[in-house]
Every structure is written in C-alpha cells, then in structure tokens.
A and B are shown apart, each in its own frame.
Chain A
Amino acid sequence: MLKELLDPIPSNFNILVSKLGDMLVESLEEPLGYTINWGRVFSLWPVHLETSCCSVEFGAASSPRYDVERFGMLEAFGSLRQCDLIVVQGTVTRKMAPRLRMVYDQMPEPKYVIAMGACAITGGMYFDSYNVLPGCDGIVPVDVYVPGCPPRPETLIQGAFLLQEKIKRSKIK
C-alpha cells in the first residue's frame, strides 16, 4: 500500500490526501467488516409473526432443552421495526400473504428470511388446496430453506447456523 502511495509521488496535495484515504479504508475494511458481521450474527431477532402450524416447533426451540437463546435469537416482543429476521413458519395462505409482505417491507435493512417447513418451501401437502400459495419465495426473497414437516428444533438451529455462515461471508457496504 505504501509503495502505491510513494511511486509515483503525487504532485497535487489533493491526490495525496485521497490516496491516503483509500489506504485507510482498505486497511480497516476487513477487521471492521468482521466485527460488524460478528455483531449481526449473534443477535438475530425474529419477528413475532406466526404463519401456521410450524410455530409449535419454533416455540419449542426456545424451550430449555433446545435453547436457541444462547445463539442470540431471542423472540423480540417489541415492535417489528427493530427486528432483522423473519421466519416464515409453515403454510402461507392467500389471506396471510399481503400481511407477510407488509411486515417484510417494514423491517429495516439488513434483513434475512428463513423458510421453515415443507409448506413454506413448495406448498407441502397442501399443494391442491384452494387457499394456499405454493411456497413463499414468490413474495419474499428467502435466504435459507429448512425442510421438515414440522422440522425438529435441532434442524431449525442448523438452519440458523447456515444463515450465520452466509452473513459472515457477506461484504459490508
């Protein structure tokens, strides 16, 4: 980095300052990005929106046996303006779909979506029902798919780990 700065030596003072600035950002980008990502990964707060029957296993994941709170995912009972994760638990019906999109739009960036259960991925066993959407990726962009009907709480925790890996790899803007 120093080599770039000194050869050729810029004659203009402005160009020298801007090159110094670039050097600073480049050197800090990696450790700062790592810290910010580490903070995001261990404090994922899910919105309290229960879409369908997988909410029973999601509730069991917060129980003392499969404690998901030790990874930072505590169910935030505040407003949804401070959450950054939405777990689509189960079947999305045609009546619930606009509300799901409204909730997703109101969350601040960066936000992540986990699709939990076979019904949220492709419609599950309700593929021929008149009121069920075939999967929720038509409405919200999904990051992690967790299969099962309903998935065990350990599967959900593994899905959360995959999301954590994905966040760690992402770049900070």
Chain B
Amino acid sequence: MSNLEEKIDEAKKLSMQIVKETEADRLMTLSVGPQHPGSGHFRFVIKVDGDYIVNVDPDPGYVHRGHEKMCEYRNYFQNLPQLERPALHDSSNILYSYCLAVEDLVGINVPRRGQFIRAIASELDRLVYTQYWLAIYGIFLGHSTMFMWPAGDRELIIDLFERFSGHRVTHCFSIPGGVRNDFPYNFKEKCLTQVNYFEKRLKEYEHIFYNNPLFRQRTEGVGILPKEDAIKLGVTGSVLRASGVPYDIRKVEPYDIYDEIDFKVQHMKTCDSFARSYIPYLDMIESCHIIRQLLDKIPESGDVRVKLQGNMKGPPGESFKRVESGRGALGYHIVSDGASRPYRVKISTPSFRNLIALSYLLVGSKLGDMPSIYWSLNYWPIEADR
C-alpha cells in the first residue's frame, strides 16, 4: 500500500514540475530581421508571450555607412552628394538643411528667386516621399492596390524633377548659395498642370484606403501615444502632430520665404495609428496649396545663386539649423575651425529621434498589430543609421 502511495506522490511531483517548466519557457524570442517582408533594412528582437509583445530591442546599424566621419575628409561642396544618400527619395530636404547651416556659418544671403526655387523643390520632394511611404504601407498591410496607385502617381512628380535637374531621385540641386540652375522654359505651366492632376488623384485615396473598414479596424485605437509622453520622448514630425501638438518648423521658425506663405498645420488629437497615417496625407494636400502660392509669388527673373568658391574656408564657429522634412525635423550641427573641411558634422535625423517610441508603443500590443504600428512611425532605416 505504501509503495503505491509513494508512487502516486512521485507522479504528482513530476507532473507539477512539467507544468512549471512549460510556464517558464512560455516566452518566445522572435527576430524580425533584415530579410523579412515586414521590416525593411532593420532588425528588432521581440519577446512574445502568446500573442502579446513583452519586450522590444531595436538593432539598427545594417546600413551604417559612416557619413559623419566621411564629411571630415571632403570640403563643403564635395559633401553634397554623399549627404543626399541617407534620405534618397527626399533629397532636397536633407540638402536644404545643410545649405542653411553652411550659409549661416559663412554669413551670406541667397537671392530671392533662388529661395523660391529651393522651397518649390522641397515641397515637391515632400510629395514624392509621402507617396513612397504610403506605397510601402500598402504592402505591409497586404493592400496591393495601395502599392500600385501611389507608386504610379509619384512618377508624375518625378517627371518634373527630371525636367529641371536631370535625375529622378538624387538631384543635388540645392547647394550652399542657392540652386544650381534656373528653372527651364515653361516650367511653371507644366508644374501647375501636374500638381492639379495629382491633387485630383489624391482625393481618390480616401475611398480605397482611409475609408476602408479593414484599414480602419487595423489602425484605429492601436498604438496610443499620449501627449505628455510624446513631448517627453522628444518625437517629431507627424508622430508628434498626431498626439495633439501643432509643431511645424515652417511655422515656428520660418526659414527662407516660408513666412510669406499661408498654410495650416494639420494635427489631430486621437494619438493612435490612424492619426499617424492620416496626417501625412493631409500634409500632401497642404503642400499642393503651398506649391500653387509659391508659383504665384515667384519673381519673374533674377539671380538664383551666390557664387561661392569651391574650396572655400569656413570661418571658425558653429551653427545649428533645422528644416521640416517629410518625416519631421532634420537638423545639422556644423563645427568649423577655419579650414576648408568641416571639423565636425552632426546630423540629427527624425527617424533616429522617433526610434525611441518604437519600444514604448510595441510593448503590450498584439503581434498582429506590429506592422501597422511600426510603419506608422515614419521610420526610414537608412536615415536613422546614416
């Protein structure tokens, strides 16, 4: 009898042990790596407990090419092509910020027609970037029409870029001192036609994408970032404006001729993923209004450039300038010691600043919501790695 009791006790102890072991390794570590249809050039390691995400560890650096070190071996003009590449499809904005910082350091004023041309190129690039972002969003959520329509419509604007700069994506058009060349003959009428047709096409996106019940269910109420946390984490761009803070550098610290242009800063108070995806679309419509005003006010003729020497020496000092790019506030901090090469260049990109919100937002949400939260943060991995 005692033998049997002993055996039953032993069996009970063994079964309790098995239950404890399976509870201990309930957490599973997944590596959403660089070869993944849902991650881009970026890897993050997540720990899941069933369906809920418990821990997120981002692992960037797969495209870290050392731009800041390379800037110290090239002079101010030779730096332009290599500084374009982090934000390849938004290249006018990333160069605009560099040009403003260098002009601040050297202390020159760009002629008025040059300022208008730079602003038009910057707004057109904002359109091109946001269309690419929407296209990839469509792929992540499995909506392949949303890949085809923006990818096709963006070619309308790329045609305009080919007209005045000769290249599709990396134009290297805004340089310290102004712009390289003037607009070609008859550019104004062509630009107006393309932008008007583009805006008509934009209105149709509401029907297939933003009013789509599946998209709404996947993004409404998902990934809430409250206002105080958004301010504390220091996020920027559409992520900040979706949490109710109407901060846009073109209004707060207007550079060039943005203080003469009339536009609204789009912001929403719902703080969820849907707001973060809707605000860039509203920004695109605002950009179309801005382009029309700029084309209206541009002076008919004039200089577009202040000729600076190719290997000019920057006076000793520092400068820090920011620009509102497609993703947020892009800043350059340039330190110079009197030589023809900058002493230190620090690029503060919006993707790097928004990366901190990824670990904050994904913890506690479901695994299926991961693509819609991750891509709504407007994160471009090449820019964050530089």
| Contact residues in A for B154 (Cβ distance below 8 Å) | 63
User: Is A64 a contact partner of B151 (Cβ separation < 8 A)?
Assistant: yes
In the complex, whether A173 has a CB less than 8 A from a CB of chain B is no
B301 to chain A, nearest CB (A): 33
Say whether A93 contacts B63, CB under 8 Å. yes
Contact residue range for chain B? 20 to 34
Q: Does A128 contact B (CB under 8 A)?
A: yes
Q: Are B152 and A63 in contact (CB under 8 A)?
A: yes
Task: Tell me whether B155 and A53 are in contact (CB under 8 A).
Answer: no
Asked if B313 is at the interface of the complex by the 8 Å CB criterion, the answer is no
Stretch at the interface among A2-10, A22-30, A42-50: A42-50
**Beta-carbon contact of B148 and A63 below 8 Å:** yes
Any chain B CB within 8 A of the CB of A99?
yes
Nearest Cβ on chain A to B41's Cβ, whole angstroms: 5
User: Which residues 29-67 of A have a CB within 8 angstroms of B?
Assistant: 47-53, 55-57, 59-60, 62-65
Q: How large is the interface on A (under 10, 10 to 19, 20 to 34, 35 or more residues)?
A: 20 to 34
In the complex the two chains form, is A59's CB within 8 Å of B135's CB? yes
- Please give me the residue from chain B that is nearest to A60 by CB atom: B151
A-B pairs with beta carbons under 8 A, tally: 91
The residue from A96, A130, A132 contacting B34, defined by CB atoms under 8 A apart: A96
CB distance from A56 to the nearest CB of B (A): 5
Q: Are B70 and A63 in contact (CB-based, < 8 A)? A: no
Residue in B69, B88, B152 whose CB lies within 8 Å of A150: B88
- B35 and A63 contacting across the interface, CB-CB below 8 Å: no
Does the CB pair B66–A150 fall under 8 Å?
no
Contact for A99 among B35, B70, B147, B152, CB less than 8 A: B35
The answer to whether B81 and A125 have CB atoms under 8 Å apart is yes
Residues of B within 8 Å of A152, CB to CB, are 168
**A126–B70 touching, CB < 8 Å:** yes
Chain B residues lying within 8 Å of A126, measured Cβ to Cβ, are 65-66, 70, 82
Chain B neighbourhood of A47, CB < 8 A: 35
**In the complex, B111 has a CB within 8 A of chain A:** no
Q: Would you list which residues of chain B between 108 and 137 have a CB under 8 Å from chain A? A: 132, 135-136
- Shortest CB distance B273–A (Å): 22
List chain B residues, Cβ under 8 A from A20: none
Q: Is B66 in contact with A132, judged by CB distance below 8 angstroms?
A: yes
* Residues from chain A with Cβ under 8 Å of B63 in the complex: 51-53, 91, 93, 96
Most B Cβ at <10 Å: residue of A57, A60, A65: A60
- B70 to A, closest residue via Cβ: A129
Determine the distance from Cα of A52 to Cα of B67 in the docked complex, in whole angstroms. Answer: 14
A51, A56, A60, A130: the one contacting B69 at CB < 8 Å is A130
Interface membership of B382, Cβ < 8 A: yes
Q: Which of A63, A80, A150 has the most CB of B within 10 A?
A: A63
Question: A52-B382, A125-B81 are contacts. A95–B61 as well, Cβ < 8 Å?
Answer: yes
Q: Does chain B have a CB within 8 A of A77? A: yes
A49's partner among B34, B61, B73, B169 (CB-CB below 8 A) is: B34
Cβ–Cβ contact B132 & A56, under 8 A: yes
Q: Which 10 A-B pairs have the closest CB atoms?
A: A63-B151, A64-B152, A129-B66, A53-B88, A49-B35, A77-B37, A96-B62, A65-B155, A48-B37, A56-B89
Residues on B facing A (Cβ under 8 Å): 33-37, 40-41, 61-66, 69-70, 73, 81-82, 85, 88-89, 132, 135-136, 147-148, 151-152, 154-155, 168-170, 382
Of the A-B pairs whose beta carbons lie under 8 Å apart in the complex, a sample of 25, sorted by A's number, is A47-B35, A48-B35, A50-B41, A51-B41, A51-B63, A55-B41, A56-B88, A56-B169, A59-B132, A60-B151, A60-B168, A64-B148, A91-B63, A91-B65, A93-B64, A95-B61, A96-B41, A96-B63, A126-B82, A128-B73, A129-B65, A129-B70, A132-B65, A149-B170, A152-B168
Residues of A within 8 A of B (CB): 47-53, 55-57, 59-60, 62-65, 77, 80, 91, 93, 95-96, 99, 103, 125-126, 128-132, 149-150, 152
Q: List 4 extra interface pairs beyond A56-B89, A64-B151, A131-B64, CB under 8 A.
A: A53-B63, A93-B64, A99-B35, A128-B73
